[in-house]
Amino acid sequence: MDRRDFLATAGQAVFVAAVALTGSGREVLAMDDTKHYPIPPGDGATIDRDNQVIVVRIAGQVMAFNLSCPHENSALRWRQEIGRFFCSKHESQYTPTGLFITGRATRHMDRLGVTRSGNDIVVDLSRMFRSDLNPAEYAAAVVKLG
């Protein structure tokens, strides 16, 4: 079970339990599965290991990615000096925009849903897009600055 399936299943279980306790879903407040990050001041990557999120600013746009490599879920590392992500396990490489370059992976890095709220980027941890399954949503998961 990957992270997205786990989050979906866990969310459904919490809702079902709340409905059982209250008798309806109307009284239940929605779970907040978002994280706020300041818009990075310049190009580069910020990694939030606690929430498994990478926030990237590049060429006037901001994206958020799952920290895990799509090949076998190993943690990705950012190499600022060459502007690439590397998989720590099988050496897959990705551009700052998450595009697969080389290695054992078979797709781009998984993107998370993002919106802008003032000077923050809001990352929706419950909305993860795979480039091979959700190409339109994947392409749209970008905040354009200025």
CATH number for the domain that contains residue 84: 2.102.10.10
Asked if pLDDT for residue 20 goes beyond 50, the answer is no
Range of the domain at 54: 33-144
Q: Do 95 and 113 share a domain, yes or no?
A: yes
Tell me: the pLDDT tens digits for 100-122?
999 998 899 999 999 999 999 99
Q: Do 37 and 75 share a domain, yes or no?
A: yes
Q: Do 51 and 118 share a domain, yes or no?
A: yes
d(CA 140, CA 146): 17
Mean pLDDT for the stretch of residues 2-11: 55
Q: Do 44 and 108 share a domain, yes or no?
A: yes
Whether 19 contacts 26, CB under 8 Å = no
**How many domains does one find in the chain?**
2
- For the entire predicted model, the pTM comes to 0.76
Per-residue confidence band for 13, with pLDDT thresholds at 50, 70 and 90: very low
Q: Do 69 and 131 share a domain, yes or no?
A: yes
Per-residue confidence band for 94, with pLDDT thresholds at 50, 70 and 90: very high
How far is C-alpha 126 from the geometric centre of its chain's CA atoms? 9
